[in-house]
Structure formats: structure tokens, C-alpha cells
Amino acid sequence: MVSAPDTLPDDLLINAADEVRIRQDLVLTALGKRPADRLLRVGRLLDVHSRTWLDDQDIVIKGRRIAYVGPAGSYTGEVAERVHEPDLLAVPGFGEAHKHIESSHLTPEWEAALVMPHGVTWICEASHEFSNVNGARNLEFWLTARRRGSPMKIFPLPGSAVPPTAYEWGGGYFGYDEQKRFLGESLMVAGLDEVMDWPSISDPANPSYDRLWGMIGATFEQRGVVEGHGAGLRDLPSINAFAAAGLASDHEGWFIDEIWQKLQHGLFIELRPHSLPEVVRGLIDKKLADWSQVAFVTDDRSASDTLKMGATDYNVRLAIENGLQPEIAIQCVTLNPARHMRLTPWVGSIAPGRFADIVLLDDMQKLSIAKVWADGRQVSEGKRFTGALPKIDWPDWATKTVTIDRKVTAADFRIEAPAGRATANAALLRPFHWSDDFITMELPVRDGAVQRDHDRNVTKFAIVDRFSGEAKVSKMFWLGTGPRTPDTALGSTLGHDKHNIWVVGSSDDAMAMVANELKAQQGGWVLVSGGKVLARVHYEVGGLMTARVAEELDAEMQALYKAGETIDWMYEPTFSPRWWPGFPERLSFATLTCSPWRWVLVAPSERAPEGFVNVLTGKTHPVVW
């Protein structure tokens, strides 16, 4: 990889004035009236528009864009540099219609270094993670790496879930005015990130109704795309209502019948790997003739998993292995998502006017990637990134995001019992508890406080607000998760989607220690036991990401997993063994408040003083009584 220069021409970012100038130059270059910078000649080229292969083709490049494509030798203009790859197949750079870069836990410049050798050259960043940490600087954050020379194109989609529900707060607030401003600031902003709070869309009495419809309206005004999130919406009335709302896509489909219904009602389907094999086979069985409404996405994938599995290329291989024609699979990560996101003037195909982003394959069936080009230059050789890697010293607004102005103590996690009681009734949740009702259990009382019951798999879970400075704490008992080992706790600032600190522990002292350690290191993971820190992972940017090479981050994660093996973790066998037992990393998703969640724990708020609330109805309930 090479360092990027401090200043670069304006065409790194798309804006209307530069776009006209660039295209005027491309017109004259295509006609041979101005010299081209580079000509890449390839053995075969996949035209994704017609799904046909073209033999022995020239790709003529001016600046970062393609000026001309045609049979070898047909270009009449001057060329400064020529590259010939007679044995390689050219397909367009891969794109992500829906991805949370924050879930790789790498900052954008390091994400580029990780995924570009896997063919990924553009991403629609579904930004409701960093948006919830620093909403005001969200667009600046996502455009910084590109502005500094990264070859990765990031098209930000401001988060609809800022805050995720009306019962959460802190870090950012997006409504009509904010969305209108984002869309007006840059042509890189493609629309609105996944609208997840279905109760707010479908219920005019919901306190977030006006905010969300305001964001949708601002997106329509600017001809942007409103991305959807239809988890749990499988009945026909709900599918119709979802589509009627203008929510253009769904990446939450799991089952072929559900996805077939959603396709038939005009939704763009974004398939994730866990459901992709079954759905691809099902769509083939149903003889789907037109795959233009289908794309493959990774959504959330950590750097550790990408190092093992790959990026979007993994999804394409999975589709091919399950019977999909390779050329259609390529369309599902190039032209299809570009069309859906209305980005075809810039990405999605090897065609004039587009960025010169090209994946060179040495085996189509295996999707074996030999080299990747982006912005008209080679950026990888095999699995090695060779492109520009800007050095970014992220400022305090990105790195000082855990705002706690006091020491968190064990008393913050104490749950007082009703006076004079030897036992108390308690409300419990388990991870991914999607039932209409919470769990109830009678728990012991000691010294005026309600106690855990490890014999019945009951421990304590808490949310610590990291935005106000006050470290407001909500706490309750959870079933079937967390440590049984005494004086042990685990916590993180990665807690979808609000990203407050969450901590689970077998003692209040250990939980307080985790919270204070996370404050000191400004985010990441901390595991403590017996008064000592066993392992930590640093997410110094936003409490979500790190500005380091993926392998270094992965080494920290592996050390955390290894330390976690020394702990006795609770396990509730009624829950999916795919996520349990063992180190409870999936707790970072157990704080979600979107559909299909009902009862959840959030940081204390005006509408939910104890933090325990049903996000479908707004009903609250004491955690003990």
C-alpha cells in the first residue's frame, strides 16, 4: 500500500460543478481529441447490462473515470500508459447496497485496505451507528477518508434510527431538517438508511411518527432512496403497508415464501449470507426470470470474520455454489445495487463515465480475484492491498466519545427491594426476547437489595449512558447469559443501535470496574474477573472502530475470546445454539430496539425512567416489585 498525498483534485468526491467538468473532458477523450491517461486491455469483459462476455477489450481511462470501452485497437486517441492482461476476465467493482462499516470495527481507510482486495470498491454506508455517537459530524466522518485519497467510494446514508426509538437519546438527532441538509451537501449521499422503527411508521400516535416521516419526506424531495428493514413483517397486510410507505428494500428476509411475497410487492431484496443459500435455491426453483430486484449484502461483518470468510466476494461464491449463474451473481453485487441506489452514473458497470473500478478474475466459476483496480489504478495484487492509504489522525470529536464525568460505582448497579421483603418479583429478559410479555421470577433479597440467582441462570444486565456525562444507569435481571464465575463482568461500547455502554456481570463491583475501564480507554471491550482486567479490545474511534490494520484488531479479539474461555458463561438451552453457549459476543445486538423487539432495556429517559419499556406500545414497568 502507498501513502496518499495531502491534497487531491476535487473528483474524489462527487459534486455537480466538478461532475460537469469531468464529463466534458471525458467526451473529448472518448472522441480521441484529448489524450487518455491509461488503457487496460483485458482478455474478456463482462457487460453486466446485457449479461454478455466481450472478447479482447480496451478500457480507456481518464483521471479516475472510464472514457471509452471497445474492441482492442479501436480507440483512436493518444494514451500515456498501456497495461495488457490477456489471461484475465474483467468484471465491475463490487458494491454494497447495505453495509455498516462500523461493524467491521475499522475506520473507513482501513476498511478499504481490508475489503478492496476482495473486489469491493464502493459501499452504501448504512450510518446509524456513528450517527448515534456523533450525529452532527456524521457526514464529515464518512467523507474524510475519500477526501484524503482513499480509493474506496463511500456513499453515506444518514441513519433513520437517530435515535432508534422515542425512548432513547444522546449522540445525535436526525429529522427533516438534518436529512435535507445532508442530501443537499453532497451527491455522495444516496438516501436514507434503513427505516427500522416500524411502529413509528405505522402508528400516528407513536412519538417518533413525525420525525421519521419527516426524514422520509426530505429524502423524497431530493429523489433519494429510502431503505427499509422489514424484520418480522411477513403477513400480507404488513408487506403491503411496508411497500406503501415507500420503504424500497428489505435485507431482513429469512424465508423463501416471505421474500417471494416481498419481491411481488415491489421491494428490492438484499440477501445476507445466513439466508442466501436457501433463498437462492428457492428463487431458482420458482424460475425467477428477472434478478434485477436482488442484491447480496454483508450488512454486519467484523474484520475477524472478513479475514476468515472474505467480503462481498464470499456472498457471490455462496450464490454460485447454490446454483446461480455466475454472471447473474455478479449482477447482484454490481449493476443491481447501483440501479437500486440510483448510482449508475458512477458505479455498477464497466462503462464510460463510471469510476474505473475493475475486478480482474483468473477463474470465474471460483470467483478467484487476481487484481483489483479502482479510480483507474491497480489497488491490489492477490490478497494484498497496494492502493493509497491515507494517514488520518482522527480528531477529538471522533475519539473522545465516552463522556462520563464521574466514577461509576457498585451502588449504581444495586437494585433496591421493596421495603421489608425477603423476596421480590422481578421482570427478566433473555437475549433476543421477542415475546409480547417479559419473564417474571421471584428472586431473593439480601441487605435490602434484590439478588442474582446463578442456580437458575439469572444474572444482571445494565446500560450505562455515555453521552450526558452523568452516567445514568438502568439495570435489571437477565436469564441465560453472562458470567456464572464470581466477581466477573463483560462490557462494551458496541451496543446496537444507541451504543451506550452495556455490561453484564456476576457482581456489581465487577460491573462498575468494566464501566470505568471502558471510559478510560474510550471504547471497545473489557472483560474483568477477580478485580483484574483479563482482556480488552480498543475501539478508540466513536467507541465503535479502530484506526489500525485488520490483523492487529483481530489479534486483540482472539485474545479476548481466549480469556473468555476461562469464564463459566451461563446458557439457556431454549435459545439458539448458533449464538450460545460460550463467549456472549452477540450481546452487542441484544440491545436492539427495532422490530421485532418488544420489551427492551435502554438508558434511563424521560419516557422510560427505569429504562424498561415496550417499544411497540410505549408501556413501562418496574424491574422489581
pLDDT digits (tens, 9 = 90+) for 545-554: 999 999 999 9
- The answer on pLDDT for 10 being more than 80 is no
Instruction: Give the pLDDT mean for 152-174.
Output: 95
- The answer on pLDDT for 279 being more than 90 is yes
Confidence of residue 580 (pLDDT cuts 50, 70, 90): low
Q: What is the pTM of this model?
A: 0.93
- Top pLDDT among 295 and 13 is at 295
Q: So what's the pLDDT on residue 44?
A: 98
- The answer on pLDDT for 524 being more than 50 is yes
- The answer on pLDDT for 611 being more than 50 is yes
pLDDT digits (tens, 9 = 90+) for 443-481: 999 999 999 999 999 999 999 999 999 999 999 999 998
Rounded CA-CA distance 526/99 in Å is: 26
Q: So what's the pLDDT on residue 11?
A: 67
Beta bridge partners of 112: none
Cβ contact 185:147 at 8 Å: no
Cis peptide before 163 (omega within 30 of 0): yes
Instruction: Give the pLDDT mean for 172-197.
Output: 94
- Top pLDDT among 579 and 52 is at 52
Q: So what's the pLDDT on residue 134?
A: 97
pLDDT digits (tens, 9 = 90+) for 249-272: 999 988 999 999 999 999 999 999
Instruction: Give the pLDDT mean for 380-406.
Output: 97
Cβ contact 116:376 at 8 Å: no
CB neighbours of residue 263 within 10 Å: 20
pLDDT digits (tens, 9 = 90+) for 340-378: 999 999 999 999 999 999 999 999 999 999 999 999 999
Q: So what's the pLDDT on residue 3?
A: 54
Rounded CA-CA distance 193/129 in Å is: 11
Most confident of 80-89, 190-199, 565-574, 578-587: 80-89
Q: So what's the pLDDT on residue 576?
A: 54
Question: What share of the chain has pLDDT > 70, as a percent?
Answer: 97
Q: So what's the pLDDT on residue 233?
A: 86
Cβ contact 223:253 at 8 Å: no
- Joined together, the cell numbers standing for residue 414 give 444495586
- Cα–Cα distances in angstroms (integers) from residue 203 to residues 68, 121, 599, 618, in the given order: 51, 39, 18, 12
Confidence of residue 180 (pLDDT cuts 50, 70, 90): very high
Cβ contact 355:93 at 8 Å: yes
Question: What share of the chain has pLDDT > 90, as a percent?
Answer: 89
Rounded CA-CA distance 441/427 in Å is: 7
- Cα–Cα distances in angstroms (integers) from residue 622 to residues 447, 450, 462, 553, 609, in the given order: 20, 13, 14, 40, 9
Cβ contact 599:433 at 8 Å: yes
- The answer on pLDDT for 47 being more than 70 is yes
Instruction: Give the pLDDT mean for 194-213.
Output: 93
Confidence of residue 170 (pLDDT cuts 50, 70, 90): very high
